Amino acid sequence: MKKIAVVILNWNGVQLLEQFLPSVVKYSSEADIYVADNASTDNSISFVEANFPIVKIVKNTGNYGFAKGYNDALQHIDTELYALVNSDIEVTENWLQPIIATFEKEPETAIIQPKILDFKNKEYFEYAGAAGGFIDKYGFPYCRGRIFDTIEKDNGQYNDACEISWASGACFFIRSKVYHELQGFDADFFAHQEEIDLCWRAKNKNHQIKYNPNSVVYHVGGATLQQGNPKKTFLNFRNSLLMLVKNLPKENFYSTLFIRLSLDGLAGIHFILQGKFAHCWAILKAHFAFYALFSKTYKKRAHFQSKRYYNTKNIVINYYINNGKVFVK
- Does the pLDDT value for residue 20 go beyond 80? yes
* Tens digit of each residue's pLDDT (9 = 90 or more) over 106-117: 999 999 999 999
Q: Is 263 exposed, middle or buried, given 0-12, 13-18 or 19+ CB atoms closer than 10 A? A: middle
**pLDDT for 161:** 97
Average per-residue pLDDT for the chain: 94
As a whole number, mean pLDDT of residues 53-64 equals 97
Percent of the chain with pLDDT over 90: 86
**pLDDT for 305:** 78
**Cβ–Cβ < 8 Å for 109, 208:** yes
CA atoms within 13 A on the CB side of 182: 27
* Tens digit of each residue's pLDDT (9 = 90 or more) over 176-186: 999 999 999 99
- C-alpha distances in angstroms, 303 versus 248, 249, 258, 306? 11, 10, 22, 10
**pLDDT for 304:** 74
Percent of the chain with pLDDT over 70: 96
- Does the pLDDT value for residue 65 go beyond 60? yes
Of 99 and 2, more confident? 99
Distant-in-sequence contacts of 297-304, Cβ < 8 A, 24+ apart: 297/188, 297/242, 297/245, 297/246, 298/245, 298/246, 300/186, 300/246, 301/245, 301/246, 301/247, 302/201, 302/204, 302/246, 302/247, 304/204
**Cβ–Cβ < 8 Å for 240, 138:** no
* Tens digit of each residue's pLDDT (9 = 90 or more) over 270-288: 999 999 999 999 999 999 9
**Cβ–Cβ < 8 Å for 186, 299:** no
- Does the pLDDT value for residue 307 go beyond 70? no
**pLDDT for 134:** 94
